[in-house]
Amino acid sequence: MFLGLDLGTSGLRGLLVTETGEVVASAEAHYSVDHPHAGWSEQDPAHWIAACEAVIADLRNEVTNFGDLQGIAVSGHMHGATLLDADNQVLRPCILWNDTRSHEFAAQLDAIGNIRSLSGNIVFPGFTAPKLLWVEANEPDVFAKTAKVLLPKDYLIYWLTGAHVGEMSDAAGTTWLDVEARAWSPELLQAGHMRADQMPDLVEGSEKAGDLRAELARAWGIGGTVVVAGGGGDNAAAACGVGALRDGDGFVSLGTSGVLLAARDGFAPMPETAVHTFCHAVPNRWYQMGVILAATDSLNWLSKQLGRSPADLSGELGDTIGDPGRVQFLPYLSGERTPHNDSQIRGAMLRLDVADGPADLTRAVMEGVSFALRDSLEALKATGANLDRVLAIGGGSQSPYWVELCATILNMPIDLPAKGELGAAMGAARLAICAATGADPEEIMTKPQIARTVAPRADLTDAYEAAYQNWRAAYPALKDLP
C-alpha cells in the first residue's frame, strides 16, 4: 500500500491506496489557524505532527495490513516559513501562505532587477522570501538562530525521515529557486539575505526523499522499509491526482481559494501577468496558475453574515443559470493575487437595492468569483497557455449552478469527474508509488473518468461577456477609494 498525506491549511488528510490506485481507506484530523494581528496568519507545526499521528492511528485501526505500507508522500499548502535552529527545534509559529505582513518587503525584493527573471514570478507578499526579511527586521534574534527554513510539508517530511529535503514544485514558491534550472539560486538567496546551507536538499516530487524513521516504523507496526517521496505543493499534487501533466491539461479548483491551472511542457514565465509559474512535481514539467484568494471562502463569508449554510444559499439558485445579476461582488476579502498582486485591496458589494435578498447576494458572490477566475484565464492566455476545456474540482464544483456559471463565463466546457478520490491526497499517493516502485509518472498519473461535461450556455455567453467587462471596471474604482 501507499499513503498520500495532504497537509491543508485547516487539516490533514491521509489516503491509503494500492499500487493500481484503488482506495483502501482515508482519515482526517483538523487544527486551527492563529491570527494574532490583522493580516497575520500562523500555525504551530506541532499541530501538523499531532494530526499526522491521529490520521495514522485511525488508518491502522481501520486497515489490518497497514504494516504492508511501502511508500509515503506529502502534499501541502505552499509558501509557509517554518524556521528551525541548529538543534532542529522550531523557533516560532509557521508564517502561512495567506499572511500579508511582509508586503513591504515583497515590494522591495520584487524591485530588484533580476528577481523576476530568475524566479519566474512576481514576489507576492505570501511567498517565503519576504517573510524571512520581515523576521530579520522584526525578530532579529529568531533570524540569527535560523539554521534551516522548511516549507510546511517539508517539515512533516523531516519528522518522517529525519532529513531536510524539499522538492521543486514547493520550492518554486519561495523566491529562492531558479525555477527554470530547478535549483537554489545563489543570486536569489543573496537578495533575500539567506544562505544555501539554510535550504533543504532538493529532489523531484516523484523521487525518494528518504526512508521512514525506524522508530516510527516500529510504532506503526511496519517491518520493512518505507520510502518517503519528495511530494509536492498542493496544486502540483492536485494536478498529479487528476493527470494534468501536459500542455493543454488543466483544472479549475473552487476551493477556499480559487485556482485555474494549466500544465506546461516548458518554462514560459510572464511575471507581469501575476500568473504563478512553478515547477511541476514530476521531472521536466512546469505549470502555471492564476490564483484568487477567496473562492468558496467568499460564499462562506456570506453564509456567516446571513446565518445560513453555503449549501442552502447555493440551493436557492437552482441548477441552471439565468441572466447576469445586477449586484456586483468583488471577492477581494483577503486581497488578491492574479492579476492584481494587491494585498491591500478589499472586497465590495455594489449596486445593492432595497429589494435584494439572499438569492441576489449569493448570485453576486458566485458571479464575482467566476469573473475573477476569468481574469486568471486572460492572464494565462497572455503567457501562451492553451486551455480549451478544464476539469472542475473542489467543494464549489458540487454546485451545478456554479459550474455552469464558470463554464459560461470562461466560455469553455468543464468536465466533472466521476465519483472517487481526486486532488492533492491522491496526487501525493501517486507520487509515493513512483518513488517507491520507480514507476513512470506518465503511466501512474492518469486522468479520471468523466461523469458529465457542462457546456457554456450559448444563449447567455454574450450577456455574461458584457457583465464581465462591466465588472472589470470596478477594480480600478475600488482601488482609488481612500
CA nearest 264: which of 240, 248, 283? 248
pTM of the entire structure? 0.93
* Total Cβ atoms within 10 A of residue 305: 10
The pLDDT of residue 469 is 98
Band (pLDDT 50/70/90 cuts) for residue 423 is: confident
CA nearest 255: which of 393, 349, 386, 129? 393
For residue 68, give every residue at least 6 positions away whose Cβ sits within 8 Å of its Cβ, in sequence order, or none: 1
State whether residue 121 is helix, strand or coil: coil
From the list 6, 154, 178, 234, the catalytic residue is 234
Condensed to tens digits (0 to 9), the pLDDT of residues 127-171 reads 999 999 999 999 999 999 999 999 999 999 999 999 999 999 999
Helices (H) and strands (E) in the chain, counts: 18, 24
* Alpha-carbon 269 to chain mean position: 18
Is the predicted pLDDT of residue 420 greater than 80, yes or no? no
Mean pLDDT of 186-201: 98
Query: C-alpha dihedral over 458, 459, 462, 467, to 10 degrees?
Result: -110
The secondary structure of 56-86 as a DSSP string is HHHHHHH-TTGGG--EEEEEE-SS-BEEE-T
- Return mean pLDDT, the chain: 96
The pLDDT of residue 306 is 98
Band (pLDDT 50/70/90 cuts) for residue 175 is: very high
Mean pLDDT of 253-269: 94
Instruction: Provide the greatest CA pair distance for the chain.
Output: 68
State whether residue 99 is helix, strand or coil: coil
Pairing of strands 250-254, 390-393: parallel
Is the predicted pLDDT of residue 63 greater than 90, yes or no? yes
Condensed to tens digits (0 to 9), the pLDDT of residues 194-220 reads 999 999 999 999 999 999 999 999 999
What radius of gyration, in Å, describes the C-alpha atoms of the chain? 22
Residue whose C-alpha cell is 455552469 = 404
| Percent of the chain with pLDDT strictly greater than 70 | 100
The pLDDT of residue 43 is 98
Cα–Cα dist 365/419, whole Å:
27
Is the predicted pLDDT of residue 421 greater than 80, yes or no? no
Condensed to tens digits (0 to 9), the pLDDT of residues 265-322 reads 999 999 999 999 999 999 999 999 999 999 999 999 999 999 999 999 999 999 999 9
* 338 burial type by CB count under 10 A (0-12 exposed, 13-18 middle, 19+ buried): buried
Condensed to tens digits (0 to 9), the pLDDT of residues 430-452 reads 999 999 999 999 999 999 999 99
Cα–Cα dist 333/317, whole Å:
23
State whether residue 222 is helix, strand or coil: coil
The answer to whether residue 234 is catalytic is: yes
The pLDDT of residue 66 is 97
- Could you tell me the sign of the dihedral formed by the alpha carbons of 123, 128, 134, 140, in that order? negative
The pLDDT of residue 256 is 86
Give the angle 419-63-74 at the CA atoms, nearest 5°: 65
Is the predicted pLDDT of residue 422 greater than 90, yes or no? no
Residue type present at position 93? P
- Beta strand segments in 336-439, E: 348-350, 390-393, 414-417
Is the predicted pLDDT of residue 16 greater than 90, yes or no? yes
- Could you tell me the sign of the dihedral formed by the alpha carbons of 464, 466, 472, 473, in that order? negative
Is the predicted pLDDT of residue 4 greater than 90, yes or no? yes
Cα–Cα dist 96/98, whole Å:
6
* Total Cβ atoms within 10 A of residue 469: 10
